[in-house]
Amino acid sequence: QVSAALKEGHVTPTELCQRCLSLIKSTKFLNAYITVAEETALKQAEASEERYKRGQPLGVLDGIPIAVKDNFNTAGIETTCASNMLRGYISPYNATVVQKLLDQGAVLLGKTNLDEFAMGSGSTDGVFGPVRNPWSYSRQYKEKSVPKSHSEDKEPDWVITGGSSGGSAAAVSSFTCFAALGSDTGGSTRNPAAHCGVVGLKPTYGLISRHGLIPLVNSMDVPGILTRCVDDAAVMLGSLAGHDPKDSTTIQDNFKPFELPDLTDVSKLSIGVPKEYHAPGLSSEVLALWSKAADLFQNAGAKVVEVSLPHTRYSIVCYHVLCTAEVASNMARFDGLEYGHRSDMNESTESMYAATRREGFNDVVRGRILSGNYFLLKENYEKYFIKAQKVRRLIANDFVKVFRSGVDVLLTPTTLSDAAPYTEFIKEDNRTRSTQDDILTQAANMAGLPAINVPTALSERGLPVGLQFIGRSFQEQQLLTVAKWFEKQVQFPVIQLEEVKRHDSGVFQHQKSASFS
């Protein structure tokens, strides 16, 4: 819609950019952005405006304001990973995905908040503070969650966004941008998407370049896409996917962008419902929505079958070993020499290293480095790392078997429940939280499969709940087509951002429902 409006001149890229910037300011309390690149964004918008004037826009994305998670390198704009280690670090190069977006005329508004080095599931453990879920300030949440007995002015607790791409999810959810990049290693795109009521796509491993994404777990990381609707996700995917000579793990073939058909007939589809996703701690609300969704498909004529992924329950413990091992390795480069924080401690090289890393990393990162190094010790390698790799293969094989049996797409919940209030969430440590929260999303990373969160309905508390579709490797088109059909059926409500409305009523009205595709 916005793209069409740009083309027709109803709105100019500069106006659009300014509106977004102004919204970012009025929603500053969400803490969604770490860096707002106002100046460069306006310059990019002007350049885009020129192209529209000449009638030569670069494509659908030209002039579209986007945000990027702060673990993607952006030339000239700070890249911090929400860590003291990289505070103030300005990368000399753009990540491939960032470059691709800029090449297609997108306007980069800024860098979004996250858990330090993407390690977390709440977006609460970054050095710049937690991200607040925009739905905390929605009319829907307030109406349902303000205890009637309490006085009128008592604000309900604000809820977390989920993570680790919480800043990106909040940015899209609060309309400050039209699409955002996240990253997804164990669910870091889909989890916050579910909690913030937006679409979150984790493509197949190898479909999108990781060059320039500061790694968490190289063998599972995938750049994620957060948008307001499935169609937008397809457009973003089309502009990002394909071989990158700078990332040897990307597919060799070029990727053909696609438009999603409006599916009318789902009778040929086979939807698998894996029983193992009926996990301990799954809220009755989410369970009910999940069943309802399955019924929806069945009633529309699709074949809905219960399937089994027996090894999924080992996924989290297996992930813990593989993730920490790679983290220990990937974090070794942060020694204070070439870039990033360097401690003043200089009694010896070793003491400088130690102090730099102690000062630069938070407890979560240091904890993972320690356990990772433990798992990689010669005496432990077979027992933990090799075993975890074998289990990973079993998990992936489970999916292969299910898809070979004729299932097209799997339908599962994305999260166990709706978003927790911050005060509740921080009662448990990061590790416990990640273990619980990644449980439904994580296996797709183990197997490298594409998966998407589609916002489905509001919970009793007035917070978003999403469901997840998992597709076959490189079958994004099929996955997104199904997701789009589902999206259309459920008609997820638009967020009523009272707070923002009060702050900035004019801008908000214009923005709220537009998608760019």
Partner 1 sequence: VALRGCGGAWRQGWQQSAGRARPGPSPGPGPGPGVSPRGQRTAACSARGGAVPAGKSGLAPWVPVVGLEIHAQISSNSKLFSGSQVQFAAPPNSLVSFFDASLPGTLPVLNRRCVEAAVMTGLALNCSINKKSLFDRKHYFYADLPAGYQITQQRVPIAVNGSLSYSLYKDNKMSQMVTKTVRIKQIQLEQDSGKSLHDDTRSQTLVDLNRAGVGLMEVVMEHDMCCGEEAAAAARELQLILQTLGSSQAVMAEGQLRVDANVSVHHPGEPYGVRTEVKNINSIRFLAKAVDYEIQRQIEELEDGGTILNETRAFDSKLGCTVPMRDKEGKQDYRFMPEPNLPPLILYDAKSLPANMNHQQVINIDWIHERLPDLPSVKREKLVEQYGILPEHSFTLLNEEGLAEFFENVVKQTRMKPKKVIGWVLQDLLSYLKQRSLTVKESPVSYFLLADLLNLLEKEEISSTAAKHVLAELWKGEGKTPLEIVKEQKLQLLEDQKELEQICQAVIDRHENE
CA nearest neighbour of 124 among 30, 132, 416: 132
292 as an active site residue: the answer is no
Residue placing its CB nearer to partner 1 in the complex, 215 or 471: 215
* Least distance between partner 1 and beta carbon 57 (Å): 29
Q: Does 378 bind partner 1 (CB under 8 A)?
A: yes
Q: Does 335 bind partner 1 (CB under 8 A)?
A: yes
Instruction: State residue 20 phi and psi, 5-degree precision.
Output: -65, -45
Selected catalytic residue, list 188, 209, 315, 371 = 188
In sequence order, what are the residues at sequence separation of 6 or more whose Cβ sits closer than 8 angstroms to the Cβ of residue 328? 368, 369, 370, 371, 372, 373, 375, 376
Q: Does 348 bind partner 1 (CB under 8 A)?
A: yes
Report the b/e string of 43-81 with b at 16+ CB within 10 A: ebbebbbebbeeeebbebbbbbbbbbbbbbbbeebbbbb
Residue placing its CB nearer to partner 1 in the complex, 114 or 495: 114
* Least distance between partner 1 and beta carbon 129 (Å): 22
Q: Does 382 bind partner 1 (CB under 8 A)?
A: no
Binding mask 252-291 for partner 1 (x = CB under 8 A): x---------------------------------------
188 as an active site residue: the answer is yes
Q: Does 393 bind partner 1 (CB under 8 A)?
A: no
473 as an active site residue: the answer is no
* Least distance between partner 1 and beta carbon 196 (Å): 26
**Paired tokens of 487:** 């999206």
Binding-site member from 84, 298, 373, 475 for partner 1 (CB under 8 A)? 373
* Distance separating alpha carbons of residues 458 and 141, to the nearest angstrom: 9
Q: Does 73 bind partner 1 (CB under 8 A)?
A: yes
CA nearest neighbour of 189 among 459, 473, 437, 390: 437
* Distance separating alpha carbons of residues 115 and 185, to the nearest angstrom: 13
Binding mask 195-214 for partner 1 (x = CB under 8 A): ---------------xxxxx
* Distance separating alpha carbons of residues 102 and 416, to the nearest angstrom: 36
- 169: helix, coil or strand? helix
Selected catalytic residue, list 69, 100, 111, 202 = 69
CA nearest neighbour of 330 among 185, 182, 128: 185
The set of catalytic residues is 69, 164, 188
Where along the sequence are the contacts to partner 1 (CB under 8 A)? 72-73, 79, 81, 86, 91-93, 95, 210-215, 217-219, 245-249, 252, 325-326, 328-329, 331-335, 337-339, 346-351, 353, 373, 376-378, 381, 385
